[in-house]
Structure formats: structure tokens, C-alpha cells
Structure 1
């Protein structure tokens, strides 16, 4: 039973610690959506042009020709955590489009052992209950073409909901903005600013439940965590180029620079900002079959001997598209190339043109 206490308290303590960390607030929103994008290491800010653009760069929604629906599911940490995503987008006219998406990242059926021992000191397994901890993000997107040919912009308004059982919950709100520009020779440029106004989460705590936690281990969890959580702005710069060979074969190469305004373990890091590159490729055959690969998340990891080791995250993927139905799969290392923490990601995209 001691192990149950340790697991439970660790989860709650980690959740509380996250509320005071400014660098990594709302990190579930940085995982990404769409197996096609994940297979290219998320280097899609300049190329995204479908329903998933609401996440990657809302400016890409203007390329929609019909309504689209997207679904994605993936499991992390040996199926302990589940990540689900659904999105819908539609063109309003030949110059604008809208979209809406919902993300849930959660761990369910966590054991609550705070009531395991009754007032007489007896262990009663019937007093064990379960709870879930989950993060939600609802995003509404709008995109429009500008008078300059090839230049588009988009904005996101997102509502954040975070829940830790009956112990704590939070509401948050934030804004994103993106731009895309395409030249006549198939060069594409993208710019995405996330949390441009900073995203604020405001937490509320159930004091009765907190008293149960604070009394579990003497000297630990004695005070409530901070109630305000701030997500600092992040920038993503993208560049891509596509080629067509013999009418049937295509190649897309894309490059991203991801900028955080905080000192992190990114390959380029200063006290003012940190920068991490990402590179992705997609090889296609007759717009029917796609093979993808990418590398990103370059980190300088501190070792036991205080030396630094450069790590990176490889990704691979495959996709099939037929008459408006696209099924994609990504095999992604969510840690680095030396850890065996691989995830299988599946996504489905449906273009409503198949019904017309």
C-alpha cells in the first residue's frame, strides 16, 4: 500500500509543480496533431493546408476547397496516457475559411488512496476510488486571403480546461496568429505566433481534498500552489519547397525554427530565447501513397558527469489517400534517439467532396 501512496502523491506533486513553471505551461498543446505532420517532425508551418491547419498555422485553412473532418488518437507512456483530437473546417467563400478543434490529453483510472486508512487506523480497500487528470483545448480558427497574391493570415482563439480529479481545476484563454506566403516557384514561407498575448490559466483548489494530501506526508504539500499559470509566447518559422518528377512522383522538403522566450535545453539557448530546428521530408506517388521522415527536438542533455550530450527525436510515417479519404500513420520517438519510448500515432482525414 505504501507504493500506492507514493504514486498518488507523486502525481499530485508533479501537477502542482507544473502550475508554477512558466517555461512548460500547457505543454500538451505542443505535442502536435495529425500523423502526417508528426511523421515530418512537425515541420509543417509553411505547408499545412487542410483541416489540421487550425493547429499548425490557421492561415493554411484558406486552401480548403470543401468541408473536412479530422480525427487522431495516440497513446503515450506505455498506454498510460491517451491523446485524442477532432477537428472540422469549412470554406466560407473563395477567400476565407473557419475551423474548430478539440484536444484531450488525459490519464484515467488513477488510484485515490487518501481514504485507504479509516479513522481507527484500519486498512479498508473499499475506500479506494479512482480519478482522472485531463487537459482540454477548444480552438476556433479563422483564415483569410490578403489582397497580395499568395499571402494569407489566420487567427486562433482557444479555451483551456485542466482538471485533476476533484482536487483542482483551471480555466484559461489564449490567442494565436499565423501567416503563410507562397511564391510562383513553389517556395512557401510560414510564421506562427502561439500565445501572443500570453495564455493565462486560473486554478481553483478543493481545500477539503487538499487537506487529505497535506496530511499524508509530514512537511510535504503543506501550502496550496500558485493559482495563476502563465504560458509565454512561442514563435515558429517555416520554409519549404516542393518538386514534381515525371508527373507521378513528388518530393517535399520543409524546415522549421521553433523559438521559446525562455532558457531551455534546446540546441541554441540563451537567457532571452531558445531555438530548436526541425527538418521533414515527404515523398509521394500519384498523390496516393506518401512516405515521410523527419528529425527534430534537438536537445543538449546534461549527463551525470556534468557533460552535455546532443539528442534528437526521429520520426517516420506513411500515408494513403483515395477519393477524399486519407489515413496516416506515424512512428515517433517522443523522447530522444537513445530511449525506447516510441509511440504509434494514427489519424484520419475526410474531405466532404466524396459525398458530392
Structure 2
């Protein structure tokens, strides 16, 4: 009875925590009306080749290393020191997306992770000082030209550092969160900001689990030197995954689904909208063949299709993903490559052969 009361009290505290988080979402949304719609857009792309190949329907089933972004509560499932590296060339190579993440094994009831994410466009031609402006009007008129020797280059990048922590509440429920430091740069202009995310993972059945994450719980602010600041309103992501394995064949099926809810008044690319709240659905399917071959397909919240495959070994995994359809049809397909390493097993293998 005492054990039951302790678990009940923990559940009540957790329920209160998420009620407070949702209340903060409502209050900040009402107070600011609408945030800067694209201030945090780069973070919505996601991290992890596997998770992106599933259309982002991964809030309830990320890899342990990718959980730092998708659902920090899932870090509790990690038992080894693991690292993940990803490189993506988005829209035919126009955008470069790089990501590295570490997940540490649990200690004293807590699990930890850290991720770094960069989205950038490099070597953009800067022609501002190259115009031979005979008319002095600052425009390229007929008969005028550019001095190619004076064309410079600059870059634009958006960066995020995520520090995550998680802990189990009981055998079915885990909670987690991350603290994120954001930076943006465009030429010589920089901006800095920080924010918080809270998440939970609940195992309804051995084969069914659900997850949730509240992003930018207290509203994330980006500060520019000139005082023209931006802010990112809270948003909510929900997800679920079901695992089943037919006894007649050595295949495991993992269908997953997700729902994104944002409060920015964006209705052009949403599946469902009500007032200033809009929602987008995510769907994914992972098929595991003989434990080490994985085939994936998904649909993200913007209606774009994703496919991919992975190879898993004791040392880690290699993943490939392809994004197509929707905006990728017009701007070019995106190719994604990722590597996951389990450092302990890798070290054992190196010692064996050295």
C-alpha cells in the first residue's frame, strides 16, 4: 500500500508538471498573440536520419542518441555510451545540415545526452561592393556591370546546442527535458537565445507506447545586437508507436503516428486549423528484417514523403534517407547519411584485433 501511495504521489506530481507546462503555453500564446513564424523554423527540420525517414513520427520511438532532440525522456532506455553523426544536403545541396549527438548510460537514476545541430548556407556571393554604379542610384542599370574582383562571400547559419536529462518515474513512465542554446548568423550579424523543452514517455503495453514533448515551454527569445529581437512560441508534439512481429516470418513492423500543434496562426501548410492553432499529422513505418536490416517510409507534417534504410550491428548503425515530394519536388531532393556508434563495443572490437 505504501508503494502504491508513493507511485500515486509521483504520478500526481507529474500530471501537475505537464498541466503547468500546457498552462504556460496558453498564457504565453495569449500574451504575445503570434510569434515570429520562422524564428525557430530550422529546429523543425529534425535530427537523426532514421527519425527523419519516418517523417518525424518519432516522438514515441526515437533512437536513444536522437532522443536528445525528439524526446529526452527516451534517454532512460539507453544503456551504453553512444554517438551519432549526420550530414544532410537539403534541397539539392543548397542547405547543409550537420548534427552530432552523444547519449550517456544512466547513472543514479538519471540519463544524460548532448547534441549539436548546424544548418547553414555557405559561400553566398556578396555583390554589394562590386557594382560599377555610373548613375549612383545603387541599381544595376543597362550598360553597368559588376567588378568580379570585388565580389566577396559570406555565410548564413543557424545553430543549436541541446543539453538533455531524463529519469524514470516507474516501470512505465519516464520524464525528461532539455535546455537549448541557439545562435544565428548572417554575415556579420549574430543573434543568441535559449529555451527549454519538457517531455514524457509512457508504455501503455509491452508493444505500445506514447510520447509527448512541449517545446519552448517558457517561450524562446532570440536577442540581436540592434534590439530587433525574435521569439518562438510554445508548441506540442504527440506520438505513438506500435510494435508487432508475426510468428511466421522474421520481420518486425513498427507503425508510428504523430501530431504537431503550433500556436502561430499558420494555416497554409497545416492539416487542421482552429483559430490561431494549427496541426500537422506525421505517419511512419519501419520494417525490421532479421534484426539488422531496416526499411523506412514516412510522411511529415508538411505532406512531404520520406524513405530510407538502415543496417544495424553490435558496433552501431548506418542509415540513409531521402526526402521527396512537396517542396522537395521544386527545390531538389535531400539526401541524408548518418552513423551511430556504440563506443564500448567498438573499443572491445579494436582491442580484439590490435
Indicate the TM-score class for this superposition, using the shorter chain for normalisation.
0.7 to 0.9
1:131 is aligned to 154
Aligned partners of 2:335 and 2:126: how far apart in 1?
29
Contact 2:214 2:235 in 1 (8 A): yes
Aligned counterpart for 1:114 among listed residues 128, 135, 138: 128
* Structure 1 residue 136: Cα displacement: 0.6
Aligned counterpart for 2:98 among listed residues 77, 84, 87: 84
Are the structure 2 counterparts of residues 184 and 119 from structure 1 closer, same or farther at C-alpha, using a change threshold of 3 Å?
Answer: closer
Gaps of 5+ in 2: 1-33, 137-144, 349-354
* TM-score (norm: length of structure 2): 0.80
Are the structure 2 counterparts of residues 279 and 94 from structure 1 closer, same or farther at C-alpha, using a change threshold of 3 Å?
Answer: farther
Give the 3-state SS of the residue equivalent to 1:59 in structure 2: helix
1:261 is aligned to 263
Aligned partners of 1:296 and 1:94: how far apart in 2?
37
Aligned counterpart for 1:250 among listed residues 243, 249, 252: 252
**TM-align CA RMSD:** 2.1
Aligned partners of 1:39 and 1:94: how far apart in 2?
34
Are the structure 2 counterparts of residues 242 and 345 from structure 1 closer, same or farther at C-alpha, using a change threshold of 3 Å?
Answer: same
Aligned counterpart for 1:162 among listed residues 167, 177, 184: 184
Aligned partners of 2:296 and 2:81: how far apart in 1?
25
Q: Answer yes or no: is 1:341 the counterpart of 2:332.
A: yes
Are the structure 2 counterparts of residues 80 and 49 from structure 1 closer, same or farther at C-alpha, using a change threshold of 3 Å?
Answer: closer
Contact 2:156 2:185 in 1 (8 A): yes
* Structure 1 residue 78: Cα displacement: 2.4
- The aligned runs of 1:1-356 (5 Å cut-off) are 22-93=36-107, 95-117=109-131, 124-146=147-169, 148-166=170-188, 168-205=189-226, 227-246=228-247, 248-264=250-266, 265=268, 266-298=270-302, 312-333=303-324, 335-336=326-327, 339=330, 341-354=332-345, 355-356=347-348
Are the structure 2 counterparts of residues 94 and 326 from structure 1 closer, same or farther at C-alpha, using a change threshold of 3 Å?
Answer: farther
* Structure 1 residue 117: Cα displacement: 3.8
Contact 2:328 2:334 in 1 (8 A): no
Aligned length: 302
Contact 1:262 1:271 in 2 (8 A): no
User: Runs ≥4 in structure 1, deviation > 6 angstroms?
Assistant: 118-122
Aligned partners of 2:298 and 2:87: how far apart in 1?
20
* TM-score (norm: length of structure 1): 0.80
* Structure 1 residue 119: Cα displacement: 8.8
Gaps of 5+ in 1: 1-19, 206-225, 299-311
Which structure dedicates a bigger proportion of its chain to helix? Answer: 2
Aligned partners of 1:132 and 1:237: how far apart in 2?
35
Aligned partners of 1:103 and 1:93: how far apart in 2?
25
* Structure 1 residue 194: Cα displacement: 0.7
For residues 47-67 of structure 1, what are the alpha-carbon distances to aligned partners after superposition, in whole Å with 9 as ceiling and x for unaligned? 124111001000011111100
* Structure 1 residue 272: Cα displacement: 2.8
Aligned partners of 1:92 and 1:47: how far apart in 2?
18
Contact 1:74 1:346 in 2 (8 A): yes
